[in-house]
Amino acid sequence: MLDRRDDITTPQRVDSPRASISGLFNRATARMPVPVMLAGAVCVALSSVFVPLTHVSTGTVTLFRSLLSMPFLIPMALSEARATPARPPHSRWTAYVAGVLLAGDILLWNQAIADSGAGIATVIVNAQVVLVPLLGWIFLRERPGAAFVAVVPVMLAGVALAGGVVGGGSGRNPAQGAIFAAAAALCYAGFLFLLRQASDEDHVVVPVTESAAASGVVALVVGPFWHGLDLLPGWAAFGWLAAIALTGQVASYLLIASALPRLPASVGAALLLLQPVGSVLLGAIILGERPTPVQLGGCAVVLIALYLATLTARRGDPGAGSSREP
């Protein structure tokens, strides 16, 4: 009988003999799901820094990050599918719906930034740190621990400081931007929750590939009506779009999908708060942006809160891990 405990340092199974891409991820995340999850968050942050360098519409970015990821994902997905047992049909549809929500998150998030400014949009979108555990509680009976609940306000306060909320806001339509950001938060939380359900120790690449394909289809359909869709963005933009596909679609979600099943929903959501912090720091390095001392202080607050959240889970705080019931 498989061990049902979701301790963040103990995998549910590590003795699978299957030689596949998912097997490699399984071994890599067996003892260190937290570092793997953080690496995925850094990849997402890196791709978000590349977006302004493309100078194309959000729909174009969403389409090409999916399209250009396929030459990398499809061969790995086929290899994984041949080496692993068949998946239940509902798992495939779960991944497709996750991809639809990912596209919604990307499209809505970028519009929220334009309307309300990056600071406010960042705070609202990162409500996923609360929404993902809430979904886990409702659908999987995973109750977050009291210590995690206590540290959530600290995390969000740090994100607010890192996003530049303190010291003045920006944006042409804050109210509309807040609505878009809230919708993006719901989409992102749903995407993370469903990707976690569609992935397991045998299947990592296939769910990521399916969700990426669904995201691209949504961008192709919606993009022309959402600030336009440029199918010939030019070579300079194409290079940055390829970088976004490799970091923000291939590397990031392969890492995240492999770590999510091994982490409580609350801890996985908290670790992804490294993404806005990473965006601030990488923006300073790559784009020459100058974060204020307040923003740097907010980054420090988030990092400390992340450490406390994961430390609580490691020590076996009741509810810090999932309490899945059959």
> What pLDDT, on a 0 to 100 scale, did the predictor assign at position 243?
95
| Residue entry with tokens 């719901």 | 186
| Residue entry with tokens 């940055």 | 240
Q: At residue 207, does pLDDT exceed 70?
A: yes
In the DSSP assignment, the letter for residue 172 is S
User: Helices (DSSP H) in the chain: which residue ranges?
Assistant: 21-29, 33-54, 58-67, 70-83, 89-116, 118-125, 128-140, 146-162, 174-198, 205-222, 235-244, 252-259, 265-271, 274-286, 293-314
Domain boundaries, the chain: 32-314
> What pLDDT, on a 0 to 100 scale, did the predictor assign at position 7?
41
pLDDT tens-digit series, residues 121-172? 666 777 777 788 888 888 888 777 777 778 778 877 877 777 666 654 455 6
pLDDT tens-digit series, residues 34-51? 888 889 988 988 888 888
Q: At residue 307, does pLDDT exceed 80?
A: no
pLDDT tens-digit series, residues 282-296? 877 877 777 778 877
Q: At residue 300, does pLDDT exceed 80?
A: yes
Rounded to two decimals, the pTM is 0.76
Q: At residue 303, does pLDDT exceed 60?
A: yes
Determine contact, residues 314/306, Cβ cutoff 8 Å: no
> What pLDDT, on a 0 to 100 scale, did the predictor assign at position 22?
60
Task: Report the C-alpha dihedral over residues 30, 31, 33, 35, rounded to 10 degrees.
Answer: -140
> What pLDDT, on a 0 to 100 scale, did the predictor assign at position 126?
73
> What pLDDT, on a 0 to 100 scale, did the predictor assign at position 3?
42
Burial of 235 from C-beta contacts in 10 A (0-12 / 13-18 / 19+): exposed
**How far is the C-alpha of 24 from the C-alpha of 255, rounded, in Å?**
11
pLDDT band at 21 (very low <50, low <70, confident <90, very high): low
> What pLDDT, on a 0 to 100 scale, did the predictor assign at position 64?
95
Mean pLDDT throughout 160-186?
72
pLDDT band at 27 (very low <50, low <70, confident <90, very high): low
Q: At residue 17, does pLDDT exceed 70?
A: no
Task: Report the C-alpha dihedral over residues 148, 322, 7, 97, rounded to 10 degrees.
Answer: -100
Q: At residue 188, does pLDDT exceed 80?
A: yes
- Three-state SS at 298: helix
> What pLDDT, on a 0 to 100 scale, did the predictor assign at position 179?
82
Determine contact, residues 283/87, Cβ cutoff 8 Å: no
> What pLDDT, on a 0 to 100 scale, did the predictor assign at position 216?
95
Average pLDDT of the chain, as a whole number = 79
Angle at CA 18, nearest 5°, toward 15 and 24? 80
pLDDT tens-digit series, residues 79-122? 888 888 888 888 999 999 999 999 999 899 878 776 766 566 66
Looking at residue 8, its amino acid is: I
| Residue entry with tokens 């596909």 | 245
Q: What is the CA radius of gyration of the chain?
A: 19
In sequence order, the 6+-apart residues with CB closer than 8 A to the CB of 293 are: none
Q: At residue 1, does pLDDT exceed 70?
A: no
pLDDT tens-digit series, residues 235-264? 999 999 999 999 989 999 888 888 888 888
Among candidate residues 99, 60, 113, 96, the one with its CA nearest the CA of residue 222: 60
> What pLDDT, on a 0 to 100 scale, did the predictor assign at position 28?
63
Q: Give the pair of three-digit tokens for residue 321.
A: 């891990």
